């Protein structure tokens, strides 16, 4: 799960980044309106945390740009301005939630989980493919009711594909989502192949009815047998 934090205050931005990384999210940051736009033009995210008071532009205007770009990311506004007008304006522009500063990091994490669950999983905390069940909030995987132990990247890869069953996924897009921005610019994707190889072995050994099939010269797709 990849998040973008658009926040100009360095200490808060760093605190949010560190805290969400401990929750095992892939976190990217931008410190201005312009930096946020550049990120959004080049990369995709699952959720955006957006400060509406940026040094070089209005965060609400940036939210409008996000929607104009056809982005499907869920958006949580984080702002020192706790006025009803700002909340209404943000929600009218398509924000999914609004959190006023100061806030507890635990509450921010809970809001992220709630918004992502509603946006990506229709409010359910589980994703299922064949006999594989992923408990998103607990980051646990079961195959036929039995637990399957995966490392962090194996889990992230499985969740990424389980949200896109049957869809052909380019290896660069996969790497960007699971490892973070700019990883798509590396010379080779051996690190992706290694993780997928191990994941495929574990799925097969556990009796999973899903398979990650390689598509020559392109990427992979999740197929339910």
Beta bridge partners of 98: 77
Order of strands across the sheet with 74-79? 26-30, 2-6, 47-51, 74-79, 97-100
Pick from 30, 50, 7: which is nearest to 181 by CA?
30
Q: Which residues contact 149 (CB under 8 A, 6 or more apart)?
A: 202
Q: What is the pLDDT of residue 8?
A: 94
pLDDT for 91 equals 86
pLDDT for residue 216: 82
- pLDDT for the residue numbered 87: 82
Work out whether the CA dihedral 148, 151, 155, 157 comes out positive or negative.
Answer: negative
Specify whether the CB–CB gap between 16 and 47 falls below 8 A: no
Q: What is the pLDDT along the chain (225 residues), one digit of tens a residue?
A: 899 999 999 999 999 999 999 988 999 999 999 999 999 999 999 999 999 889 999 889 999 999 889 888 899 999 887 777 888 888 888 899 999 888 999 999 999 988 988 877 665 678 899 999 999 888 899 999 999 999 999 999 999 999 888 899 988 889 998 998 888 677 788 888 999 999 999 999 999 999 999 988 788 999 998
Sheet holding 219-224: strands in order across?
169-170, 219-224, 210-215
pLDDT at 14: 96
Q: Give a three-class secondary structure readout of the chain.
A: CEEEEECCCHHHHHHHHHHHHHCCCEEEEECCHHHHHHHHHHCCCCEEEEECEECCEEHHHHHHHHHHCCCCCEEEEEECCCCHHHHHHHHHCCCCEEEECCCCHHHHHHHHHHHHHHHHHCCCCEEEECCEEEECCCCEEEECCEEECCCHHHHHHHHHHHCCCCCCEEHHHHHHHHHCCCHHHCCCCHHHHHHHHHHHHHHHHCCCCEEEEEECCCEEEEEEC
């Amino acid at each position: 799960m990849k998040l973008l934090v658009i926040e100009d205050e360095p200490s808060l931005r760093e605190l949010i980044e560190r805290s969400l990384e401990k929750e095992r999210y892939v976190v990217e940051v931008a410190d201005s309106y312009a930096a946020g736009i550049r990120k959004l033009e080049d990369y995709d995210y699952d959720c955006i945390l957006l400060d509406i008071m940026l040094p070089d532009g209005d965060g609400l205007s940036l939210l409008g740009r996000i929607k104009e770009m056809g982005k499907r990311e869920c958006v949580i506004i984080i702002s020192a301005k706790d006025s009803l007008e700002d909340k209404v304006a943000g929600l009218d522009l398509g924000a999914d939630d609004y959190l006023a500063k100061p806030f507890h990091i635990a509450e921010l994490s809970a809001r992220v989980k709630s918004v992502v669950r509603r946006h990506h999983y229709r409010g359910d905390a589980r994703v299922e493919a064949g006999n594989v069940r992923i408990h998103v909030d607990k980051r646990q995987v079961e195959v036929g009711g039995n637990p399957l132990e995966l490392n962090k990247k194996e889990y992230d890869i499985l969740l990424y594909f389980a949200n896109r069953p049957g869809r052909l996924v380019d290896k660069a897009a996969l790497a960007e989502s699971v490892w973070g921005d700019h990883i798509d610019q590396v010379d080779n994707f051996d690190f992706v192949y290694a993780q997928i190889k191990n994941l495929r072995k574990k799925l097969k050994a556990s009796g999973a009815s899903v398979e990650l099939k390689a598509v020559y010269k392109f990427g992979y797709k999740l197929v339910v047998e």
